[in-house]
Structure 1
Amino acid sequence: MRNGAFPGQTALLRLLTLTFAAAICLTAGLAFIDLIGGNRPGWLDWVRTILLVLTGFWLVWGSMTGIIGSFAPKRRPRGDLKRPEGKTAVLVPIYNEDPYETFSRIAAMNRQIVARGLADRFHFAILSDTTSLEVAAEEANAFEWLMREPDAPGRVFYRRRERNVGRKAGNIEDFVARSGGAYDYAIILDADSLMEADAMVAMARSMDLDKDLGLLQTVPVVIGARTTFGRMMAFSSAYYSKYFSRGAALLQGNQGPYWGHNAIVRVRAFASCCGLPVLSGKPPYGGHILSHDYVEAALLARGGWKVVVDPEIAGSYEQGPENLIEYAKRDRRWCQGNLQHRRLLAAPGLKFWSRFTFLQGIMAYVVSPLWLLLLVASLGASLVPDNGGDRWGVSPWAIAAGVAVTLLLPKFAILLRGAFDGTNRLFGGWRVIPSVFAEILLSTIIAPALLAFQSRAVFQILFGFDGGWPATERDARSVSLRTAFEASWWITIVAIGAIAFMAMAGPDFLPWLLPVAVPALLAPVIIWASSLGEEQADKAWLYAAPSELAPTPIIAEADAILVQWRSHDPVGVTAMDSVGIHAPA
């Protein structure tokens, strides 16, 4: 099998990794119950041990993915750079977002495609679900600018739906139903996506060369970050993701992921397999599926198509949240979408690994309230007299040490691998070392607030609160201290209550609570402070990434086009509710 393990090797690697993760967690659980309960463990000891094993398994599993990826050999990217045989539509769904930023990126991608003489192979379709009339007017004006680009008329299309049924998935489904017959493949982007022409060509050629390939997912790198939080996330994306994705690719084989953007699909396969059900009942449990991408990948795999991730395809970019509030807002939607997947775990015909991916996505959020319950149970156990090893506060420190080792091992393994494969040189050489340690420190400080946001999201969904699909404020950067306080005051109140309770009921155990409680207490300050740094971003050397140190031509091109467009008053139409996207057959 080209660029991957054989099916038998993939199954064996899955079995070994799952067995190892389970063995580690069960061993840790037995050691923990012996430590805290001795020969006569109580019910609270068993509760904490079960919670530790459940949460620990997914922690170890994620760590193993990174470690496997850090040892995995680098493979050549799929496809090649020959002229594609098939015809590709580049789809850009948008929803109440800044059209000038999105359309300028499309203009940059179009210029590269045209310069390579591939205008007849790649068309662009902007699929708007915008509900704001003001933003819709801006989209129409930005499209007028876009029409001035080389070979744009007849190749670059725009349409706005009056009713955004099914949200993004419904938007793409609508295009496939109306115009999909004109294309062999579709590259699906987000409003903040940017992709090199070489990456698009390699993706299309992968489809040409492998007729069983239904979906090919790239690993996008976050660019354009300006704040401390945003640059930390961008550094993590650029430095760690490639290795974690290599490990995931080996485990997933041909039943890989789809993240909803920066991927190419075979239109025929997508049309025949990916009709999404509308779940019975009302949101958040029912209605349209929010995390549609995981489901579409599972349906393609069920239909016998390969679904593959290729972390070696370079030139795939996106933007990310610039502050923790925006991150939490996006995470809330993902949480609701992933929890919907519990209704699909037993869907007929799905591959085992598709079901496991659903379960993994569910546990990515459920594990946060489970950690919170473990913390509460440990607080309660600390107040029980003669409770074995807990009299000396051993178990909390043992848990903390185990979590730290599990989280840090893959990052240090990647740091070591990067020193030998040349990756560290791309990140500024020695500067990558303080960047890794700064990322570890900042992510640790942010972790209690993130755990609180995710736990609240899970509890809201369990109690039937629908979070909907809020528009993403991709240009939202620094936030005021007041805004941060309004978003996280409740975290501070909970932290104050926990500290006060322990100070009165169990002061001996207060020291091990403080590393979690103090960052939670300071959540508004941390959110505000981590959203700063925009003015110094150009001079900052911490979290330096290749996109900053040596920007690729398309990044510079997109920025230059945006500056040019913003420096002039928009011209064009005053309203353009519908511009045809129907391409010639």
Structure 2
Amino acid sequence: MTSRNPLLRPPAHVAATGGVWTLLVVVEWLLVSPATAVDYAYYALASIAFLPFALLLTNFAYHFAYPGETLPREPIGGERPRVAVLYTTRNDVVPLCVERTAEAVEHPVDLWILSDSDVPEAVATERRFDGWRRYTRGVARGGKSGIINDWLADHGGGYEYFVTLDADTMLAPGNVTRLVEHAEHAGNDDVGIFQLLKEVHPDLATTPFARIVGRGVKWSTRISPPVMKLVYGRNTYWGSAGLIRTEAVRDAGGYDEHLICEDFVLTVKFDRAGWRAVVVDDRSYEGFPLDLHALRARTVRWVRANRQMLPLLAGRGVSVGTRLNCLTPVMFYGVTPVLLSLVLLASVESRVATAAAPSVAFAAGVFAFVFLHRSVAAGREVGDFLATATLETLVVLGMSIRVTVALLFGATVWKPSRKTSREFSWSESVAETLPELGVGLLLAAAVLRNGDDPSVGLLVGLWAASFLSTPFILRYTSASIDGPTPEKRPHDPDAGLHDD
């Protein structure tokens, strides 16, 4: 067992981010020169929003300035450690992922399907895969975390390492071999989780929406994580496609069956027990929501999951690097109601429309960076970049109302998302997006009322267009799906009951 690591002091890079934040707040004060109550409200909100933006800017700069680091590997000789690949499913098996993963594995492994499925069609599909052992249990307690804990209790003693896969995750050729070589190197003996980077696989992103918006995932799953390791000295586990030391997960007390973010929670538990989580310069594949309806449901679920684990991060014994890694997505979800409030203030008093109201060019540059930075992952094709930048900006801003509600008022009881997709009619699309349409019309009226102010047109107009486009995006993205997608029926992870 590895000895406990001391808590890290804030890295110098984080201090630099704080310096950028302070500078931007000073610039904000000088440019806005608050005088009215609305001005002061705007200034206070903008000051809050600057922190995640400064952090984003720091990460963006480090990405281009530093090549990152290479995690050492040790070629495996002699007796090979035992490894299990665990494919977790509950009525949402994706045959392509199961088959491709089995073909990609080179290191000798045991392939397991951990199933809580109770739909006959799903059970029949799981049983037809040759070479896979199927693990089931009587009561679906604790969801994914519960079934992994039960498998560890029954079979974990026979394996040094295991890899967990979600239903829409697949391994690439050589992933497991390279992960084990990292884990067997003496210099990595304090690493409990070796997380693979991810990329959306085209065979799993089968709609134009998934292909276009899915390109931006490369930023958060391949470009940003190595930079986060450099800035924070730590990484986080993402819940799938990572090699885990069986010794470490037992040392940390196993998976938490009560919190939604089982991946971030496991990262924190590992950190407290003296184990690190790191990303490796290697990638696996995953799917992406096929339409706006599925993406909205997943985003709301993630917002609630991140909010639920905040008390855990406030506890003792967690390193600064792990706290910052886990808090980063919370900060960006948290800035959504702040930005929405800024937009509503701008619709009331146009002089506070942007952080740099006197300079529309500067404001345009700020917003272009904030909303388009992920589009660099689209590559050098101008058409791909523009398509990703446009659709992702409209979608992200258009979901801000739902993110705000989930963050501030969302129910604490969580159920897994549905992975079914269906075509929405025009009337259904409008009914599903009435809050967005209402706010969009309000903002559009503000633009018309202040039509001579370019700042209002830039900020308020962009958000108005995003809200007003939501029913169109929902309608056309749902209509682009040709066939059914795998089904996952929501359930109460504690009671093991199903909801329709």
**Aligned counterpart in structure 1 of residue 342 of structure 2, from 374, 389, 398:** 374
The answer to whether the 8 Å contact 1:48/1:377 transfers is yes
Aligned-partner SS, 2:244? strand
Query: 1:349 and 1:370 mapped to 2: Cα distance?
Result: 30
What is the identity, as a one-letter code, of the residue corresponding to 1:333? R
Aligned-partner SS, 2:144? helix
Aligned-partner SS, 2:409? helix
Tell me the residue number matched to 1:14: 14
Q: Deviations over 1:367-401 (max 9, x none)?
A: 1111111112222334xxxx7999x9648886554
1:110 aligns with 2:105: no
Q: Aligned pair count?
A: 468
Tell me the residue number matched to 2:300: 332
Query: 1:108 and 1:410 mapped to 2: Cα distance?
Result: 28
Tell me the residue number matched to 2:116: 129
Aligned-partner SS, 1:217? strand
Q: Deviations over 1:469-508 (max 9, x none)?
A: 23441x637654444333212211222234346656x565
Q: Deviations over 1:22-75 (max 9, x none)?
A: 2343233223332xx3xxx23322221121121122123123213312332265
1:526 aligns with 2:473: yes
Q: Deviations over 1:154-177 (max 9, x none)?
A: xx3213334322222222122222
The answer to whether the 8 Å contact 1:25/1:57 transfers is no
Root-mean-square deviation (CA), in Å?
A: 3.2
1:79 aligns with 2:73: yes
The answer to whether the 8 Å contact 2:422/2:478 transfers is yes
Q: Deviations over 1:237-295 (max 9, x none)?
A: 34774322221221232x311111111110111112144567xxxxxxxxx21012112
1:207-222 equivalences under 5 Å are: 207-209=183-185, 210-222=188-200
Query: 1:170 and 1:8 mapped to 2: Cα distance?
Result: 31
Change (3 A) 1:483 1:187: farther
Query: 2:370 and 2:382 mapped to 1: Cα distance?
Result: 19
Change (3 A) 1:460 1:129: farther
Query: 1:388 and 1:304 mapped to 2: Cα distance?
Result: 48
The answer to whether the 8 Å contact 2:372/2:393 transfers is no
Give the TM-score taking structure 2 as reference length: 0.83
Tell me the residue number matched to 1:485: 430
Change (3 A) 1:273 1:237: same
| Cα drift, residue 94 of structure 1 | 1.0
Change (3 A) 1:376 1:239: closer
1:152-551 equivalences under 5 Å are: 152=131, 156-209=132-185, 210-223=188-201, 224=203, 225-238=205-218, 241-253=221-233, 255-275=234-254, 288-310=258-280, 312-314=281-283, 316-382=284-350, 394=358, 399-408=363-372, 432-461=381-410, 465-466=411-412, 468-473=414-419, 476=421, 479-500=424-445, 503=448, 508=452, 511-512=457-458, 513-531=460-478
Q: Deviations over 1:165-199 (max 9, x none)?
A: 22222221222222211111110111111102401
Change (3 A) 1:252 1:478: farther
Change (3 A) 1:438 1:378: same
Tell me the residue number matched to 1:89: 84
The answer to whether the 8 Å contact 1:217/1:263 transfers is yes
Aligned-partner SS, 1:293? helix
Query: 1:296 and 1:436 mapped to 2: Cα distance?
Result: 36
Ranges in structure 1 where 5+ consecutive residues have no aligned partner: 1-6, 279-287, 416-423, 425-429, 536-585
Change (3 A) 1:357 1:244: closer
Change (3 A) 1:507 1:469: same
What is the identity, as a one-letter code, of the residue corresponding to 1:352? V
The answer to whether the 8 Å contact 1:183/1:267 transfers is yes
What is the identity, as a one-letter code, of the residue corresponding to 2:328? Q
The answer to whether the 8 Å contact 1:491/1:523 transfers is yes
The answer to whether the 8 Å contact 2:444/2:464 transfers is yes
The answer to whether the 8 Å contact 1:369/1:451 transfers is yes
| Cα drift, residue 325 of structure 1 | 1.2
Query: 1:50 and 1:388 mapped to 2: Cα distance?
Result: 12
Aligned-partner SS, 2:415? coil
Aligned-partner SS, 1:86? coil
Give the TM-score taking structure 1 as reference length: 0.72
Tell me the residue number matched to 1:146: 129
Q: Deviations over 1:483-541 (max 9, x none)?
A: 4333212211222234346656x565563432221331231002223456567xxxxxx
Query: 1:55 and 1:406 mapped to 2: Cα distance?
Result: 11
What is the identity, as a one-letter code, of the residue corresponding to 2:476? A
What is the identity, as a one-letter code, of the residue corresponding to 1:15? A
Q: Relative CO higher for 1 or 2, CA cutoff 8 Å, sep ≥ 6?
A: 1
The answer to whether the 8 Å contact 1:214/1:270 transfers is yes
The answer to whether the 8 Å contact 1:63/1:409 transfers is no
Query: 2:477 and 2:352 mapped to 1: Cα distance?
Result: 41
Q: Deviations over 1:208-256 (max 9, x none)?
A: 1132220111111111212222001332234774322221221232x31
Change (3 A) 1:483 1:272: farther
What is the identity, as a one-letter code, of the residue corresponding to 2:211? R
Aligned-partner SS, 1:344? helix
| Cα drift, residue 328 of structure 1 | 1.0
The answer to whether the 8 Å contact 1:90/1:188 transfers is yes
Identity, in percent, stands at: 20
What is the identity, as a one-letter code, of the residue corresponding to 1:12? A
Change (3 A) 1:80 1:145: farther
**Aligned counterpart in structure 2 of residue 48 of structure 1, from 42, 47, 52:** 42
Aligned-partner SS, 1:499? helix
Change (3 A) 1:393 1:350: closer
What is the identity, as a one-letter code, of the residue corresponding to 1:50? A
What is the identity, as a one-letter code, of the residue corresponding to 2:133? F
Larger Rg belongs to: 1
What is the identity, as a one-letter code, of the residue corresponding to 1:313? D
